[in-house]
A = this chain, B = another copy of it.
Amino acid sequence: MAKRLAPLLNRVLVEKIVPPSKTSAGILLPEKTAQLNSGKVVAVGPGARNRDGQLVPVSVKEGDTVLLPEYGGTEVKLGDKEYHLYRDDDILGTLHD
């Protein structure tokens, strides 16, 4: 059985969104639609500590769709699935429809 990971400090566990390379009707999509580097937040840490030792909560929450930097992040495998850990302040923004 896959273990569950609770990130520490301001780390954020993200499952990257693999864009469909075909539409549901089977039409091959051009490469351009695949370029947005985004993911879904699976779990967040309690936050990093400031100079006084107090926790500063992270800026995203479980379920958020986030824009990720091109480089960075630590690959983590839990069971069959592949995730990535990012520091809260490396996540560029949240994506909304």
User: Which A residues are within 8 Å of any B CB, using their own CB?
Assistant: 1, 3-9, 11, 13, 32, 35-36, 45-46, 49-54, 56, 59-60, 65, 67, 69-70, 74, 76-78, 85, 89, 91-97
Contact = CB atoms under 8 A, between A and B. Distances in A.
Contacts of A1: 97
A97 B91 CA distance: 28
A53 B74 CA distance: 25
A4 B52 contact: no
A97 B96 CA distance: 32
Given A59-B9, A60-B8, A3 B97 contact: yes
A74 B13 CA distance: 22
Contact of A74 (B32, B69, B76, B78): B69
